[in-house]
Amino acid sequence: MKNQYVSELTNGSIINSAFVVSKKQISQKKDGSSYCRLELQDKSGKIKGVLWTETLERTKDFQVGDYVFVRGEVSLYGDELQANILTLQKIQDLKKVDLSDFIRTCPKDVKEMFSRLLSLIRSMKNPFLRDLLLKFFLDESFSDSFKKAAAAITYHHSYSGGLLEHTLSVCETCDHMAAKYSNVNRDLALAGAILHDIGKVHEYKVGVVIEMTDEGKLLGHIAMGHQMVAEKINEIEFFPADLRTHLLHILLSHHGQKEWGSPRCPQTLEAFLVYHADTLDADIGSFNLLIDESPNSDWSRYARNFERRVYLKFVSDQPYKEGDTEVGSEPDVESHRVNDHWSEEKDRLFVLDNNSSDNSSQY
């Protein structure tokens, strides 16, 4: 049933395969007739699609999360691929569906990543921060949810296991930078990195598709994460008040700007570090998703989070050709002398030209 994947689709491709519906929106034309915009998904990616009026009228009702068999053709809409759907039929017999074909999961080993995260936690010297983190991550129910959670719905690490992958990357970046800058409190930065997105465990519901929970829509992961960490801190006797304030500040400020959802802007060194490490990993994660979406293209579609299209082609490490100056080779001294002489001559001509110009034209 599943014989074609989103990542294989190109302009002009004929679609004849099963997908899961990840988005659906009924809209109206100027003449009052209805049409449907949707998004189709499998484990390799997503593609936007459209059912025009006649197709929609003869299509039986379907919902987000339904498995559907689709026939149609791929075309370009702006700079994005779009599925022009001719027929869409809901799959009733789910025994014919292999869930692994449709659910997007982290390409990395979740067990290995979680082991690395625990090792970083256990390497902390501050007993209060170490105990706080172990209260979360040695809780089997919480850790199972954390390992399955997504970091986002669309832009970065938007698949099961994505939250763990993103968190570990942010944490390892902070660990590296703490080794580089001696005035960074390593344990505080690591704790902030590990906990910064902890509210996403409850913000998103991860199934065949990723959806935002009602709690997530009303509160958001920053507020939920702040509450989760504050409550857990209260369970630890003698937890230092200033350490609590600094840690919670990292959580509240990790989006960087108030207009980006942060109740506070970063105002401590560790908060700055977590914010930049988080942004860097999210941007690279988004870039990699664009590469996965368009494996045969040099340029991505317009990416709203970047406000631009991005160039996807890798720079290959070509060997030096004969005559090229290699790294470490002796420079061409005579060429430098000629260039230096010409630079001096241009400077002399520039001065002469300025001295002879009409000074009244300066303003």
Strand-pairing partners, residue 37, are: 25, 50
Residues of the chain scoring pLDDT < 50: 333-338, 341-342, 345-346, 348-363
Please tell me the chain's helix, strand, coil percentages from 3-state DSSP, rounded to the nearest 5.
45, 20, 35
Domain extents in the chain:
6-95, 110-293
pLDDT of residue 333: 46
Helices (H), 95-213: 110-122, 127-137, 140-148, 162-180, 186-195, 200-203
- How far is the first Cα of the chain from the last one, in angstroms, to the nearest whole number? 74
* Per-residue pLDDT at 321: 59
DSSP tag of 60: P
What confidence score (pLDDT) does residue 222 get? 95
Task: Decide if domain 6-95 falls under CATH 2.40.50.140.
Answer: yes
Per-residue model confidence (pLDDT) at position 354 = 45
* 6-95 matches 110-293 in fold: no
- Under 8 Å between Cβ of 164 and 245: no
Residue 89: exposure state from Cβ atoms within 10 A (0-12, 13-18, ≥19)? middle
Query: What's the CA gap between 170 and 151, in Å, rounded?
Result: 12
Nearest Cα residue to 98 out of 188, 154, 19: 19
What residue type is 302 in one-letter code? Y
110-293 architecture in CATH? Answer: Orthogonal Bundle (1.10)
Instruction: Please tell me the predicted confidence (pLDDT) of residue 352.
Output: 42
At 18 the three-state DSSP class reads strand
C-alpha closest to that of 207 among 89, 64, 107 = 64
The residue written with tokens 């395969």 in the block is 17
pTM over 0.85: no
- Predicted confidence at residue 106, as pLDDT, reads 86
